[in-house]
């Protein structure tokens, strides 16, 4: 079945550092890929998405490229801010009724 | 649009009591999902509705849990009787339609934090 594996956290960075959170997936067919962000005490919000191979999703300075050859969708940001501290979830939507399969989440803490 | 609306935001109840969580999806969205989030198990899909019909309830942990969607604008998740291990944050999410979830993803509500003492 479909599965998503994220790098283990937590990740702690200083402000303005470069961020990478790794995500790899297993799925049949041609899934869509998503990154969601969850701020403390809130629900998950869609951060970015890519619906086909080689697509790049981007939003709020975050980027991720759909790499079918490596089955990956790594999240990157060139310069993180304290306000980026949150939990980040990688997810895929395969062929099964649009169900989203989530990774385990990565906690990011950014210090001033 | 007000987004996906869940109530209550917080619920504290005693073991053995009945708990009802409520969700109003985004107008026009035909798919609705209930998730549970805990530190130990992360996000778990409990049940999925399409056009008000339960499609997949394989994630419902046991018979104490039940979910209904009487119309397109309202769903409930009920736990009876509640137990301390049910303590978690319960999220509702909606999506435009069965096929569009793949490109659209979900819109989540803010969740209900349930504490069973």
In order, the DSSP letters of B11-69 are EEE-TT--EEEEEEPPTT--EEEEEEEETTTEEEEEEEEETTEEEE-TT--STTEEEEE
Place of tokens 């069965």: B98
Q: Which residues contact A14 (CB under 8 A, 6 or more apart)?
A: A110, A111, A112
Q: What is the enclosing helix (H) or strand (E) of B90?
A: strand B88-95
B106 and A100 within 8 Å at the Cβ level: the answer is: yes
Instruction: For the beta carbon of residue A16, count every other beta carbon within 10 angstroms.
Output: 11
Determine the straight-line distance between the first and last CA of chain B, rounded to whole angstroms: 36
Q: Chain B residues with CB inside 8 Å of A3's CB?
A: none
Report the distance separating Cα A23 and Cα A43, nearest Å: 21
- Mean pLDDT along residues B15-42: 94
B68-104 burial, b if ≥16 CB within 10 A, otherwise e?
Answer: ebeebeebebebeebeeebbbbbbbbbbbebeebbeb
Chain A interface test: which of B105, B107, B109, B110 (most A C-beta within 10 Å): B105
Q: Establish if B99 touches chain A: CB-CB under 8 angstroms.
A: yes
Q: Chain B residues with CB inside 8 Å of A105's CB?
A: 42-43
**Count, residues in chain B:** 117
CB A3 within 8 A of CB A101: yes
Kindly tell me if the per-residue pLDDT of A45 is higher than 80.
yes
Q: What is the pLDDT of residue B99?
A: 62
Report the distance separating Cα A79 and Cα A17, nearest Å: 5
Sheet holding A56-59, edge to edge: A19-21, A75-77, A62-65, A56-59
- Mean pLDDT along residues A33-40: 95
Chain B residue closest to A34 (CA)?
B105
Q: Chain A residues with CB inside 8 Å of B42's CB?
A: 102, 104-105
CB A58 within 8 A of CB A48: yes
Tell me the pLDDT band of B105, cut-offs 50, 70 and 90. Answer: confident
User: For A57-75, how does the pLDDT look when each residue is reduced to its tens digit (9 = 90+)?
Assistant: 999 999 999 999 999 999 9
Q: Chain A residues with CB inside 8 Å of B57's CB?
A: none
A99 and B48 within 8 Å at the Cβ level: the answer is: yes
B103 and A34 within 8 Å at the Cβ level: the answer is: no
Between B111 and A98, the more confident residue is B111
Supply angle C-alpha A108, A35, A26, rounded to 5: 110
- Mean pLDDT along residues A43-60: 95
Report the distance separating Cα B38 and Cα A11, nearest Å: 19
Kindly tell me if the per-residue pLDDT of B13 is higher than 90.
yes
């Amino acid at each position: 079945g479909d599965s998503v594996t994220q790098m283990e956290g937590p990740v702690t960075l200083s402000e303005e550092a470069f961020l990478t959170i790794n995500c790899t997936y297993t799925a049949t067919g041609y899934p869509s890929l998503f990154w969601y962000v969850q701020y403390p005490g809130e629900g998950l919000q869609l951060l970015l998405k890519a619906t086909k191979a080689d697509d790049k999703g981007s939003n709020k300075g975050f980027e991720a490229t759909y790499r079918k050859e490596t089955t990956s969708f790594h999240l990157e940001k060139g310069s993180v801010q304290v306000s980026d501290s949150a939990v980040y979830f990688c997810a895929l939507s395969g062929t099964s009724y649009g169900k989203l399969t989530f990774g385990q989440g990565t906690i990011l803490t950014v210090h001033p | 649009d007000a987004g996906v609306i869940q109530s209550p935001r917080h619920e504290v109840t005693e073991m053995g009591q009945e708990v009802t969580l409520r969700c109003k999806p985004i107008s026009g969205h035909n798919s609705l999902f209930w998730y549970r989030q805990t530190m130990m198990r992360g996000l778990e899909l409990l049940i999925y509705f399409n056009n008000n019909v339960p499609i997949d309830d394989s994630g419902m942990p046991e018979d104490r849990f039940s979910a209904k969607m009487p119309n397109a604008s309202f769903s409930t998740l009920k736990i009876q009787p509640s137990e301390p291990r049910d303590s978690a944050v319960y999220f509702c999410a909606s999506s435009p339609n069965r096929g569009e979830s793949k490109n659209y993803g979900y819109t989540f509500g803010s969740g209900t934090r349930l504490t069973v003492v």
